[in-house]
Amino acid sequence: MGQIEDSASPRFCPKPKELRQPAPKKHQRSVFYKKPQKLVQNAVTSDWPCFLGPSHDGISPETRILDHFDQPQPGKPYLLPVWSVEKGESYSAPSVKDSLIILFHRLANNEVVECLDAETGEFHWSYEYPTTYRDRFNYLNGPRAAPTIDKDRVYTCGVQGMLHCFDLKTGHLYWQRNLAREFELDEGFFGITPSPLVEEDMLILNLGGKRGASVAGFDKYKGTLKWLSDNQWDRSYATPVTAMMYGKRVLFVFAGGMSDPPTGGLLGLDPLSGKIHFSFPWRSPRYFSVNASSPVISGNRVFISSSYDVYGAMIEVQPDLTHKLVYATRNYASHWMTPILRDGYLYGFVNSILVCMEWDTGKLIWKKRLKLGDKNGDEDPDNEILHQEFRSGADQYRDPPGSKGFGFGSLIWVDGHFLCLGETGLLACLELSPKGCRIISSCRLFSASQTWTAPVLSRGLLYVNQNLPGLDTPPRLLCYSLRVFEDKP
């Protein structure tokens, strides 16, 4: 563990007793379309309080979720928005707790945190602060990291490292830190993107700072620095995760961003002290590359993957919290999507190709280029598309807006099936198994590029970021109801 001197310790501001939750009011940038149907009595519901959902793996515990939305059933409408709100520049996914949703984006020259009603889109509170970030590759200039909600608090980390803690219901600012200034952080290739992780009383971030601190732990209540890891690997674009192994909590950080020479890999740490149990180097040798997908964990095994040259690796944590390499595979390589593990198989997009890989062995089961109208996708028996894509980069494999291809897709799993959001606004319900891929239903929500933010699901409502303007629509956060209709007696 490195030095824990905290010369920039933030000032903590307790919430005044007389401060009350503001009443919701009409949002100036929102449109309300219709009231969603009520939840059926036996539906299981959940918050989506952080990146990748309540269990940090893209899996939702909700039930009674609509899986057919491309063909209207008698007396039942197409999938239409419940509400939408025009948003600024951002790749940040929203987070939801109870009846509130947090939208984090950039308007003009300010990063803005907004709290909205999750069912109506009405406005509760907002907070904004200036930003000067300009993306060096001409992508969007807004935040990337998803807000993290823990009990009654919201944590946000902006693209230039402004870390804030708010009261969820009132918007009261408890504390803030300028991480870039305090820890000498550079902006990397795409700014600061890992989302904050809450573990017990600790708020954990992958910093990659010049103070010898790849990872930092802060007191989540007061924002004070508790520990710094003693590692020089640069900040990645992957959000840390924790898991229980051998009766102990272990923190896994997939580090590695802009460094020369390129370095990075998987760190196993004690989340309460920052002590490093092991480090496993795993990063592309290309300078213009990063580690971007979160580790996937099952039992005492951890799967990591990175696009360009290095592909995927399975690590097994030992009883003494050291590690060993189980296998390296060329059959999965995440550009940025974190794959989802179900029933012993890993599913995810390798750039624009949907892949099923066996968890225990790394064996490729199948891969398909997902397109509407083709229930089974495009076969690639010789494995050439997969490896050619790794070698050649991503852009030439993108599908233009309005096409039937999903391009770089995102997955979440809920109620026995997968929801797939394509990068130009296609939505599909998929049945994925080792036997193959079946499109249960599909529809186009809008037609716009860079829909790279994974969808969010809470209480039967699906939230989708349209990050770029469409032909006749601005960038928006859209809410759709996937609640099943009340069963008739």
Question: If DSSP codes are grouped into helix, strand and coil, which group holds residue 445?
Answer: coil
Condensed to tens digits (0 to 9), the pLDDT of residues 26-56 reads 999 999 999 999 999 999 999 999 999 999 9
Q: Which residues pair with 117 in a beta bridge?
A: 100
Q: Given a cut of 80, is residue 108 above it in pLDDT? A: yes
Question: If DSSP codes are grouped into helix, strand and coil, which group holds residue 179?
Answer: helix
Tell me the H-state helices in 396-456: none
Task: Answer yes or no: is 4 within a domain.
Answer: no
* Both tokens assigned to 281: 């180097």
How far is residue 174's CA from residue 208's CA, in Å, rounded to a whole number? 25
Task: Answer yes or no: is 438 within a domain.
Answer: yes
Would you state the pLDDT for residue 6? 76
Q: Given a cut of 60, is residue 377 above it in pLDDT? A: no
DSSP H or E segment with residue 366: strand 364-371
Task: Answer yes or no: is 171 within a domain.
Answer: yes
Would you state the pLDDT for residue 422? 96
Task: Answer yes or no: is 37 within a domain.
Answer: no
Q: Per-residue pLDDT averaged across 90-119, rounded?
A: 98
Task: Answer yes or no: is 145 within a domain.
Answer: yes
* Both tokens assigned to 301: 């095994």
Condensed to tens digits (0 to 9), the pLDDT of residues 65-94 reads 999 887 665 555 568 899 999 999 999 999
Would you state the pLDDT for residue 296? 98
**Distance between start and end Cα atoms, the chain:** 62
Q: Which residues pair with 112 in a beta bridge?
A: 105, 128
Condensed to tens digits (0 to 9), the pLDDT of residues 454-485 reads 999 999 999 999 999 998 999 999 999 999 98
Q: Given a cut of 80, is residue 199 above it in pLDDT? A: yes
Better pLDDT: 372 or 273:
273
- Count of the separate structural domains present in the chain: 1
| Beta-carbon contacts of residue 442 (< 8 Å; ≥ 6 apart) | 70, 372, 426, 427, 428, 429
Would you state the pLDDT for residue 76? 54
Domain that holds residue 305: 44-481
Task: Answer yes or no: is 31 within a domain.
Answer: no
DSSP H or E segment with residue 221: none
Task: Answer yes or no: is 66 within a domain.
Answer: yes
DSSP 180: H
How far is residue 307's CA from residue 41's CA, in Å, rounded to a whole number? 44
Which range, of 67-71, 208-212, 286-290, 293-297, averages the lowest pLDDT?
208-212
The string of DSSP letters for 152-216 reads TEEEEE-TT-EEEEEETTT--EEEEEEHHHHTT---TTT---PPPEEETTEEEEEEEETTTEEEE
Task: Report the length, in residues, of the chain.
Answer: 489
Tell me the H-state helices in 358-398: 384-392
How far is residue 90's CA from residue 103's CA, in Å, rounded to a whole number? 9
For residue 405, the domain's CATH number is 2.130.10.10
Would you state the pLDDT for residue 46? 98
Would you state the pLDDT for residue 73? 58
Q: Given a cut of 70, is residue 229 above it in pLDDT? A: yes
How far is residue 283's CA from residue 263's CA, in Å, rounded to a whole number? 6
What pTM value is reported for the model?
0.94
Q: Given a cut of 70, is residue 383 above it in pLDDT? A: no
* Both tokens assigned to 282: 């795993």
Residue type for position 144: R
Q: How many CB atoms lie within 10 A of CB 283?
A: 27
| Cis peptide, bond prior to residue 261, ω within 30 of zero | yes
Q: Per-residue pLDDT averaged across 334-346, rounded?
A: 96
Would you state the pLDDT for residue 62? 98
Q: How confident is the model at residue 355 (pLDDT cuts 50, 70, 90)?
A: very high
Task: Answer yes or no: is 39 within a domain.
Answer: no
Look up tokens 């992957």; give the residue.
Answer: 238
